[in-house]
Amino acid sequence: MTLYIDEKTIKNIGDCDAVIDVRSPREFHEDHIIGSVNLPVLKNNEHEKVGTIYKNISPFEAKKIGARLVSLNIASHLQTFFCDKKKSFKPLFYCARGGQRSNSFATICASIGWKCAVLDGGYKAYRKSVMREIEQFSKACTLIVISGKTGNGKTEILSHISSLGGNILDLEGLASHRGSMLGGFPGTEQPRQKYFETLLLEQIRKLDLSKPVFLEAESNKIGNVNIPAELFKKMHHSGCIVVENSRHNRASFLVARYSNVFEDENVVEKFFEFLDSRHPADVAEKAKCFFSSKDWNALARHLLDYHYDPSYERSMGLKDRKILLHAKCNGDIENTARDLACDIISKYG
């Protein structure tokens, strides 16, 4: 009996009923095709063991051990994921390079009677396409950067721009990080670098590129992930809207926004380690005094004066951006963010 297994490219995987990533859970966690399900033919320790034997002992022995483990794992997936799948079910399988792991699973499923496909080039081909599309977008798009000192509500403004129908890239949301020394989202792990780029491309594909794309000013690194080089270069040379508000309002906004941050002892420890490494001893000591007395407004003003505002001034001095608008606000930041977003959309959206 001749088994037919289709070979599909990235562009035509949409007609499959499920995209199945057969790589190890560790590989899947690092990055994967959005919407794919992980049915590993080798678990983490098994994948590592087979790879070590292949490189250091014998490819033949590695394949023999690998085949046994792959068969056991595929049998388990047939008893679980595939147990209720009808004959019309059309799965697509992919592994690292579109080789043995995906073809092994596809061959068994095709012999049962399902119409199976594998991804040409596997994950490696997918990864190249992600970076290529991000680079193409970066060169073709028109960006408008929402800039301004810390505490001006740039993220809130960006959210309101989106709700009003504007194009946005929420880099901090994708990175699960606010882009500052207190920026981690409580209880949320940042995506790995490659998966961050996959999520970024998914958001890019939803944009209307006939209109400007708004995004928040960032350094090249948001927590532990980097903004792709071509996109950051485009941000560096794009027009910006500078949001301005009083130090008093900005400090109050920061206190409200970060109210739960200092409940985490690990965050507090890293926070003061950072201050000690970046500033003279008196700056860190004064911050510790404000923290000990729970004078959060004084702590926020102190951080603005000695860390955030000087850092912003330095970064702006290094950028070659055309300032489109100085958006001066005097009121409560939470209440002015939507009005400012409406004004921005009316002028540039």
> Of 96, 128, 160, at which residue does a domain stop?
128
In this structure, are 192 and 56 located in the same domain? no
Catalytic residue among 16, 83, 95, 342: 95
In a domain, 181, yes or no: yes
Q: Which domain holds residue 176?
A: 141-348
In this structure, are 235 and 303 located in the same domain? yes
CATH number at 249 reads: 3.40.50
Q: What is the average per-residue pLDDT within 232-245?
A: 92
Q: H/E element holding 325?
A: strand 323-328
Please say whether the beta carbons of 221 and 127 come within 8 A: no
In this structure, are 278 and 170 located in the same domain? yes
In a domain, 103, yes or no: yes
In a domain, 135, yes or no: no
Q: Residue 80 — left, alpha, or beta (φ > 0 → left; ψ -120 to 50 → alpha)?
A: alpha
pLDDT at 182 over 70: no
- Say how far apart CA 169 and CA 176 lie, in whole Å: 13
Q: What are the angstrom distances between the C-alpha of 211 and each of 141, 160, 165, 243, 345?
A: 8, 17, 11, 21, 11
- Say how far apart CA 94 and CA 90 lie, in whole Å: 14
Q: What are phi and psi of 59, to 5 degrees?
A: -60, -35
Please say whether the beta carbons of 164 and 346 come within 8 A: no
In a domain, 101, yes or no: yes
- State the total domains in the chain: 2
Q: What is the average per-residue pLDDT within 77-99?
A: 95
In a domain, 332, yes or no: yes
In this structure, are 183 and 317 located in the same domain? yes
Q: What is the pLDDT of residues 220-238, one digit of tens each?
A: 999 899 999 999 999 988 9
> Of 94, 128, 162, at which residue does a domain stop?
128
For the record, the structure tokens of 83 come out as 């147990």
In this structure, are 104 and 156 located in the same domain? no
In a domain, 134, yes or no: no
pLDDT at 183 over 70: no
Identify the DSSP state of 141. -
Q: What is the pLDDT of residues 187-220, one digit of tens each?
A: 778 999 999 999 999 999 999 999 999 999 998 9
In this structure, are 175 and 319 located in the same domain? yes
In this structure, are 257 and 317 located in the same domain? yes
In a domain, 298, yes or no: yes
In this structure, are 174 and 289 located in the same domain? yes
The pTM score is 0.90
Helix (H, G, I), strand (E, B) or coil at 180: coil
CATH number at 76 reads: 3.40.250.10
Please say whether the beta carbons of 81 and 37 come within 8 A: yes
In this structure, are 296 and 169 located in the same domain? yes
> Of 63, 93, 128, at which residue does a domain stop?
128
In this structure, are 67 and 191 located in the same domain? no
- Say how far apart CA 158 and CA 219 lie, in whole Å: 17
In this structure, are 284 and 326 located in the same domain? yes
For the record, the structure tokens of 332 come out as 């409560």
Q: What is the pLDDT of residues 270-304, one digit of tens each?
A: 778 888 888 888 888 998 898 888 888 998 899 89
- Say how far apart CA 139 and CA 233 lie, in whole Å: 10
In a domain, 136, yes or no: no
| pLDDT of res. 317 | 61
In this structure, are 283 and 311 located in the same domain? yes
For the record, the structure tokens of 280 come out as 């003279």
109 catalytic per annotation: no
